[in-house]
Amino acid sequence: MRMWGGRFSGETDPLVAEATRSVEVDRLLALDDLDGSIAHVRGLERAALLTADESVTIVEGLRALRLEVEQGTLEWDPALEDVHMNLEAALTARIGSVAGKLHTGRSRNDQVALDLRLWLRRTVHDIDGDLLALERSLVDRAEREGDAIMPGMTHVQPAQPVLLAHHLLAYVEMLERDRGRFTDCARRADRSPLGAGALAGAGFPLDREATAADLGFAGVTANSLDAVSDRDFAVEFLAAAALAMVHLSRLAEELVWWSNPAFGWVVLSDAHATGSSMMPNKKNPDPCELIRGRAAKVAGDLAAMLGILKGLPLAYQRDLQEDKPPLFDAAAVLSSSLRVMAAVISGLTFRTDRMRDAALQGYVTATSVADALVERGLPFRVAHHVAGRLVADAERRGCRLDELADESFERALVVEEGPEAARLAAAAPTGLAEDLRAAATLEAAVARPRVTGGTAPERVREALEAARRRLGIEPA
């Protein structure tokens, strides 16, 4: 079938028609397309390009189509190529030839550019709600687990003890930045391209600003060439989605490890785990694994969009038809992953006893001991060596740092050179060993980092309160 008459005399090759068809994908823009068309009709009426009666007829027809789309009763014709032509043909079938006036002063180029911006605006709103829900789930668990202690890690090795709440709130901070990135993206996309025409601008006195205001935009695009060929807002959306999925993937990775009985730090609810077709003992964290895998998919969507755009001259090129699959895919994957992760977090059982047992291994309080030595007057590098010797002594004895005898602390100081170490060694009977053993406890080590953003209980309580206020969560 040939959509555009006059210039062409033959039918489109069926292979070409199949290759260029996009309605199965871009029909997701139907509601946005109809909203844009209704605003365009108002603009045409303001410009005296439609009579009041014609405007009413077309708008009523568009609203009827909107209802059909919402109810899922509109029949889509693949032969009509895309969402725009399907809706125009459906409108014509319902109201007659006056529907042909709808496309006055408009091209599919500025039409689809508008649709994508409208889609992005409502999609960002929905994703923001999903991000908020996951943040609230994390904050809820952080509050419920209270002062549970776990080993913080670097290089996947025990490093320093932290509160479980502190660990969970780290992901809240990541998600909050994700929200900010989507908000920034939507803000920069908040310009209406309608009226840019195919590339040079509409040839009629359309009030673009009034139409943009009707659609809730902050303003209009400043250059018609840029308006129809610009997709950097799509790249920004995909970059924000890819980063959000990376954050989800990191959380998913930790839950996969923590749920392994070798860790035993969390137990997934039966509703959020799967079994094995062969091994009756298995309880697999499949939702987390799939989120981890799908993060790569969204990263691929970003790469695909950048690849589509990198070689395009101004203005519109048909390559841009391929912008929608990665956009729609990334949005669907991210939204689903956020909702699944929120459910997983809410259903977790935290084995805080196992976390504490793990924190008692690996000498994670050694830094606290070194800091206590600094408070006694040692340079940090000397204190670091002393604490290291204490760790080596405890390893040989098979005990914790807070279980070492007085002579271990005295000996570690004696072997260090320098007047400060000698002075401390001489003063050891004055309570140094007791002070260092106290510094080597989990509670003391967790309480020491009292700087803003640290894991000390009072700082974590402040962070929780700040998160509650930011997320609109009522105090527990």
Instruction: Provide the annotated active-site residues.
Output: 155, 276
Helix (H) or strand (E) holding 161: strand 157-163
Backbone angles phi, psi at 207, to 5 degrees: -90, 90
CB-CB contact of 181 with 233 (8 Å): no
Pull the structure tokens for residue 125.
Answer: 């709103």
Q: Tell me, what amino acid is at 44?
A: L
Measured in whole angstroms, how far is the alpha carbon of residue 175 from the centre of its chain? 6
State how far the Cα of 291 lies from the Cα of 294, in Å rounded to an integer.
Answer: 5
A 10 A CB-CB count for 8 gives 10
155 Rama sector, left if φ>0, alpha if ψ -120 to 50, beta otherwise: left
DSSP 230-275: --HHHHHHHHHHHHHHHHHHHHHHHHHHHHSTTT--EE--GGG-B-
Helix (H) or strand (E) holding 297: helix 286-309
State how far the Cα of 294 lies from the Cα of 297, in Å rounded to an integer.
Answer: 5
Measured in whole angstroms, how far is the alpha carbon of residue 238 from the centre of its chain? 10
